[in-house]
Amino acid sequence: MFDQSYSCSTCRATDLNREDDLDDRVWTCNTCGEPVLIDLADDKGNAYTVVRTLAKELRVGQYIVEDYTLSHGVMRVLASNKAMGKGNKWYLALEGVGHRKVDPDDYVNCIP
């Protein structure tokens, strides 16, 4: 899964340059500060438009796409909460996949 292009629906900027036009630490537009839309594609022709969202900000019912593979395709979030136990982890339950513990400050590809 590779980033193909970036755009901003808030200030209507298209074909943003990753180095100059967006803050890729927080995935926002440098012009207006709002989240950018990211077009993703893989070598099999699968494509999605996503917004990168912190794991701890995901809500039940949202849809996400894995950033490293499309083996599971689009997955619906069934639960999103602080993980039980030691450490600072975030618990995600994903339809058809099971659950995962991730860093709460990891960015996840979320279908807008």
pTM of the model: 0.88
Measured CA to CA, the distance from residue 65 to residue 39 in angstroms comes to 12
Measured CA to CA, the distance from residue 111 to residue 74 in angstroms comes to 8
Model confidence band, residue 4 (pLDDT cutoffs 50, 70, 90): very high
Mean pLDDT, the chain, integer? 91
Model confidence band, residue 25 (pLDDT cutoffs 50, 70, 90): very high
Give 55's DSSP letter.
Answer: G
Measured CA to CA, the distance from residue 16 to residue 1 in angstroms comes to 19
Asked if pLDDT for residue 69 goes beyond 60, the answer is: no
pLDDT digits (tens, 9 = 90+) for 40-52: 987 778 889 999 9
The separation between the first and the last C-alpha atoms of the chain, rounded to the nearest angstrom, is 18
The separation between CA 53 and the C-alpha centre of its own chain, rounded to angstroms, equals: 5
Asked if pLDDT for residue 86 goes beyond 90, the answer is: no
- Residues 6 or more apart in contact with residue 43 via CB below 8 angstroms: none
